[in-house]
Amino acid sequence: MLFFKLIRSIRQLSTQVLAIFLGVMLTASSVLVLPSQAEPAPETIVSQVSQKPAAATAAIGKHSFVADAVNRVGNSVVRIDTEKTVTRPVDPFMDDPFFRRFFGEGFPQQSPTEQLRGLGSGFILDKSGIILTNAHVVDQADRVSVRLKDGRTYKGQVRGIDEVTDLAVVKINAGNDLPVAPLGSSDDVEVGDWAIAVGNPLGFDNTVTLGIVSTLKRSSAQVGISDKRLDFIQTDAAINPGNSGGPLLNAEGEVIGINTAIRADAMGIGFAIPINKAKAIAVQLQRDGKVAHPYLGVQMVTLTPELARQNNTDPNSSFEIPEVNGALVMRVVLNSPAAIAGIHRGDVIVQIDNQQITSAGQLQRVVEDSRLGQILQVKVQRGNRTQELSIRTAELKDIS
């Protein structure tokens, strides 16, 4: 019994000590309140408490930069459907009179024509209905149909096509207040920037994919389409058939490129035409319906001293190549400016107008930036000799 009484005494003492301690704490806290600080009104407290959940809700509900970018440009992206009639050869056996008599006149006849349907994308450049897309989307089409995001469909009229840059302009008559895509500058794009592709891949309308800019100035020869004159923006944003002609956006929702090419032997690699190049071409297409490109008339590859040495040490090589950096001429087009000036197969173009040439792509850009009829001073390395030739550019024609 004495033990239990002792325990109760200790508990009572602890309670008293705790009460005294709390009293001291309360007294100390009241001393810390300065006389000039008034206790906040109840409504102020309620307001302060309610602000935190509102801020948290706003943070959770905020759109991503991708959604903001797509919302800015989305209504200006269009779907382009095409139809064209192609003639195909008819098997003579099917039209043989004996064959027809044997199988009867009820045997189905083979049609000499076929309707081919195509699908692509584009975006509105002007409120009046000017649309920019790829040339290969609408080239040789008998019918072009343009569908807006809101479902309205219009007949499209092809105003101009440039196969060299794979660009085309289409016009629709849909009033003068259409949504217009904001254009950025491809000169400001850097490797690692966000890249957002918008279009209608495989017929799935209004599809958005996200990636980055993988590299810049990827030449058309490297992409595998040497008949074009382009330096592409390379991206890992998913691009599929049907995306062609659609916009490639930056993080602000501005068009920096036109999705145009994919590699069948690779995944996660797509290519877009820089918008600055496209803007210049679009102006000419609207005005003239075509674009005149200067050319020299040579087919070439990039040459380095290492590649030249590999060729020169090969006993099966047909000729020796100068071991220099430049553009090696593989073919000279008959009656072309280069042929008239005296360029030969095996020559290495090392300089144009005092500008060093180190690659085939660089030579192509220099010629593309020149004027029709301009005389270019070209320095070539031919064997151990260096020659300077004057070449007058002419308009690019079909050189296949």
Token pair in block for residue 379: 């320095």
The one-letter amino acid at 388 = E
Q: What's the CA gap between 305 and 361, in Å, rounded?
A: 17
Annotation marks residue 162 as catalytic: no
CA-angle at 71, arms to 70 and 76, nearest 5°: 80
Annotation marks residue 177 as catalytic: no
The one-letter amino acid at 198 = V
Annotation marks residue 166 as catalytic: yes
- Catalytic one of 244, 336, 359, 370: 244
Contacts of 181 (CB under 8 A, 6+ apart): 73, 76, 77, 123, 124, 125, 247, 255
Q: Please count the CA atoms within 13 angstroms of the CA of 190 that sit on its side-chain side.
A: 2
Are 200 and 246 within 8 A, CB to CB? Answer: yes
Q: What's the CA gap between 17 and 202, in Å, rounded?
A: 80
- Catalytic one of 121, 136, 162, 359: 136
Token pair in block for residue 62: 């905020």
Q: Is 251 left (phi over 0), alpha (psi -120 to 50) or beta?
A: alpha
Q: What's the CA gap between 109 and 324, in Å, rounded?
A: 62
Give 319's DSSP letter.
Answer: S
- Catalytic one of 81, 166, 231, 347: 166
At residue 11, what are phi and psi to the nearest 5 degrees?
A: -60, -45
Distances (CA, A) of 321 to 189, 233, 303, 348, 349: 38, 33, 9, 8, 12
CA-angle at 86, arms to 85 and 88, nearest 5°: 145
Q: Which residues are catalytic?
A: 136, 166, 244
